[in-house]
Structure 1
Amino acid sequence: MSESSVIHDIGYQRYTGPRLGRSAVFGAIYVHGVRAAYGFGRSAKSKIFPWLVFGIVTLVAVIIAAVRAQTGTVPLNYIQFADAMSWLIIFFVAIVAPELVSRDLRAGVLPLYFSRPVRAADYVGAKVAAMVTAVWVLLAGPQLIMFLGAALTTKKGMSGVWGELDDLLWGWSYSLLWALLFTGIGLLIASLTGKRAFAAGGIVAVFLMTTPVVGVLATLPSRTAQELAFLASPMTLVSGVAQWMVPNANTGLPIGRFGPVYAIEAAVLIVTCLLLLLARYRKVASL
């Protein structure tokens, strides 16, 4: 340093506050992900689609509750309701999944995440948890409306309420399975590209391409092939699990004795998608 050099104090100070660590970062990424899924903290345009889908699903639940209260018949049970909303859920996932992960890839902010004490598993875990929460709430909220309508109009007293609560819990468990499977598939596809349009198209394409396969296999003369046909599509896969595990699911799928096969494939598919997603971000973190 020369004799004419001068050190200027421009007011920078060391950070002396609490250092919250990885758990706080995980929570922040999770909360931001849930908010982003429903457009909170973003422009009004970003809120239109998620809240339109939520409004439609809720309206259907209100109509079902009203019909049941007036006629005493059950148009759709909790399992059938989730199945009936399947395509809306797919489009919701196709929009939200790229929002949660593709934007980070495109903006190049992942090095900033991983420069802190955040591991790839933390990032992936927070994004998965946020997506699962968003999808589960989309189904569980309207299912709660259906339950309240049924509980308030039951003619069987408390026994009817408890029976309805048991059905609701099965329905919520089924909705969680939907959320886990569709989150795994959606986030894995979205993590492969920073372009949200490509990611959304890829997610929808997976379901569009697998659905006709089920139709073809279901027409085969072999009864075994017909009972296993529904393994070919994620949508019918989860319905097959419900048909085997949930009392009075009434999904209408003739899966025969292959219920355990459906459950095993669903578990393997979820775990595989999550492991591939983790491997993808470990690779990104190492760059």
Structure 2
Amino acid sequence: MSETGVIHDIGYQRYSGPRLGRVAMQRALFVHGLRAAFGLGRSAKAKIFPWLVAGIMLLVAVIAAAVRSITGEMFFSYVQYADQMSLLIVFFAAIVAPQLVSRDLRAGVLPLYFSRPLRAADYVIAKFAAMTAAIWLLLGVPQFIMFLGAAFTTRTGVSGVFDELWDLLPGWAYNLLWAVMFAGLSLLIASLTGKQAFAAGGIVAVFMMTVPVVGVLASLPSTTANSLSGLASPAFLIGGVGEWLTERESQLDVGVGEFGPIYGIEAACLVAACLLLLLARYRKVASL
């Protein structure tokens, strides 16, 4: 009895459409990362923590807007809003960063990503942009609610609305500083492990354990040490840059004084170092 082979036509066809290239890949990773940051397109469990943080921040903004419309007094300015919400930003970063990068490590999809024309730099830029946008929206949307509350209750007409807008824009710019700093640090920490719990714990530890260092340095008798103490903590570092740029009230007892440029330089170097280390990390993964 002779054996015969049969070729079955299962309808496979080669892709003949347009090749969109690396920019489209970056855009797709960015959109997917931004959606993942708020649990969109995922299970209800994935939505609980990011939306809980966002809900608390929105509630604070609504209360602040309501109190201002009734009494005319502000709890805090748009720029101060980010400083007041710093603890919630830490928890949000600890929730979101592992979702963006640790899951890819655990699932082993990075070799698949890098088998395409996607480069390590493209991956890092897309994830960093998604994380930055998520944190900026977390702060910017509540501030916009505060703005609407003030704009609709102003007693000076159109000029009052524009005055309020000019107060809002520096707040949005300050948000960007928070976003890039927290995005760079949290993604770098999360990229070191595929276990989301370890990544989240590491992010919280880095941000929270540096705060007592600031307290110790601020308690020294040296005015210089007091002014430079904020350099030891990312949150105080951002606050110092904000104080230097806007000349507002300091979180430190004696303020940053003449050391404002040092705060700015350290902030820029820290973000750049995080991006370079992330790039080195994923170039190593891509070469495996």
TM-score, reference length from structure 2: 0.95
Amino acid at match of 1:270: V
Match of 2:269 in 1: 268
Q: What amino acid is aligned across from residue 94 of structure 1 in structure 2?
A: A
Q: What is the aligned partner in structure 2 of residue 250 from structure 1?
A: 249
Cα separation, 2, equivalents of 1:269 and 1:163: 34
CA offset digits 1:87-130 (Å, max 9, x no partner): 11100000100000000000100000000110001111110111
Q: Mapping of 1:89-104 within 5 angstroms?
A: 89-104=89-104
Q: For 1:84 and 1:243, how far apart are their aligned partners in 2?
A: 14
CA distance in 2, matches of 1:271, 1:81: 25
Q: Which runs of 5+ in 1 are unaligned?
A: none
Q: How does 1:51-66 map to 2 (within 5 A)?
A: 51-66=51-66
Distance 1:149 1:13 in 2: 57
1:110 is matched with 110
Q: Does 1:146 align with 2:142?
A: no
Partner of 1:194: 194
Match of 1:123 in 2: 123
Give the direction of change, closer, same or farther, for the CA distance of 1:252–1:157 in structure 2 (3 Å limit): farther
Letter in 2 for 1:222: S
Helix, strand or coil at the partner of 1:39: coil
Please tell me whether the aligned partners of residues 37 and 100 of structure 2 are also in contact (alpha carbons under 8 angstroms): yes
Q: Does 1:79 align with 2:102?
A: no
Query: Who is 1:170 aligned against?
Result: 170
CA contact (8 A) 1:180 1:270 kept: yes
- Residue 118 of structure 1 aligns with an amino acid whose one-letter code is L
Aligned residues: CA RMSD: 1.5
Offset, 1:10: 3.1
Aligned-residue sequence identity (percent) comes to: 69
Letter in 2 for 1:259: G
The equivalent residue for 2:215 is 215
Distance in structure 2 (CA, Å) of the matches to 1:146 and 1:158: 17
The structural deviation recorded for 1:230 is 0.7
Give the Cα–Cα distance (whole angstroms) in 1 for the partners of residues 238 and 271 of structure 2. Answer: 11
Letter in 1 for 2:230: F
In structure 2, what is the equivalent of residue 182 of structure 1? 182
1:229 aligns with 2:229: yes
- Report what 2:285 is aligned to: 284
1:237 alignment partner, SS class: helix
Report the secondary structure of 2:20's partner residue: coil
- Where does the alignment leave 5 or more consecutive residues of structure 2 unmatched? none
Q: Distance in 2 between matches of 1:161 and 1:11?
A: 62
Stretch deviating more after TM superposition (88-97 or 147-156):
147-156
Distance 2:6 2:204 in 1: 62
Q: Counterparts of 1:62 and 1:14 in 2: how far apart (Å)?
A: 54
Distance 2:251 2:11 in 1: 70
What amino acid is the match of 1:163? Answer: D
Question: d(CA) in 2 for partners of 1:283 and 1:79?
Answer: 39
How far apart are 1:4 and its partner, in Å? 5.1
Distance in 2 between residues matched to 1:10 and 1:152, nearest whole Å: 63
Q: Distance in 2 between matches of 1:146 and 1:3?
A: 78
TM-score (norm 1): 0.96
Partners of 1:15 and 1:66 in 2: CA distance: 56
- Tell me the amino acid that sits aligned with residue 208 of structure 1: M
The letter for the 1-side match of 2:140 is A
How far apart are residue 162 of structure 1 and its match?
1.9
